[in-house]
Amino acid sequence: MYDPTHKTIFKFIRTLFYVKRLNADLAIISLVYIKRLVKCADINICPTNWKRIVFGAILLAIKFGSHVAVCNKDLCRLFEKMTVDHINELQRWYLELINYNTNIPGSIYTKYYFYLRALAFRHGLGLPTYLLDRERAWDLRALSRMQHDEEFYTARKTGALSADDLIRLQRAKAVLP
């Protein structure tokens, strides 16, 4: 009936991550999926749906954010009260609403990492035990730049360049290893 406080949401997520021993990276990926859902589906998060939205994002993060294949039957073992049908339904619903966009470039991941870090600090919430240091942040930025360059050259070969692409390329800084 009432909007949950940021501490209520934090406790829900922290408990889930702690009890199920989930990696902190999945929290960042989950936030990206939540933001995509809100943007793509024009959904308002409210007291009646926030847990389902957060849980759905975490399920997708576990499935698509890890480097290990995970099937829904395995997720049922992780979340005992969930059935395969329920997980399938939630996953299908979430994927449709985010237009099946599960890709998260390094630049987006880094942006949300620092956003969550600043948010936790502002509200006096516990930070993860490991923090992204300056060197790792620059590495992620360089990888993101390389991915953008790859897309640029692919577009150039197919003739799909715009004037904005050329201007962005002129202003780009070189990234040296």
Domain ranges of the chain: 6-97, 133-177
Instruction: Determine the pLDDT at residue 107.
Output: 87
Q: CB 125: neighbour CB atoms within 10 A? A: 14
Please tell me the distance from the alpha carbon of residue 7 to that of residue 9, in angstroms, as a whole number.
5
Please tell me the distance from the alpha carbon of residue 149 to that of residue 110, in angstroms, as a whole number.
18
| Predicted TM-score of the model (pTM) | 0.67
Diameter of the chain measured on Cα atoms: 55
Per-residue pLDDT tens digits for 30-59: 999 999 999 998 888 888 889 889 989 998
Low-confidence residues of the chain, pLDDT below 70? 1, 68, 125-177
Instruction: Determine the pLDDT at residue 166.
Output: 44
- Please tell me the class of the 6-97 domain: mainly alpha
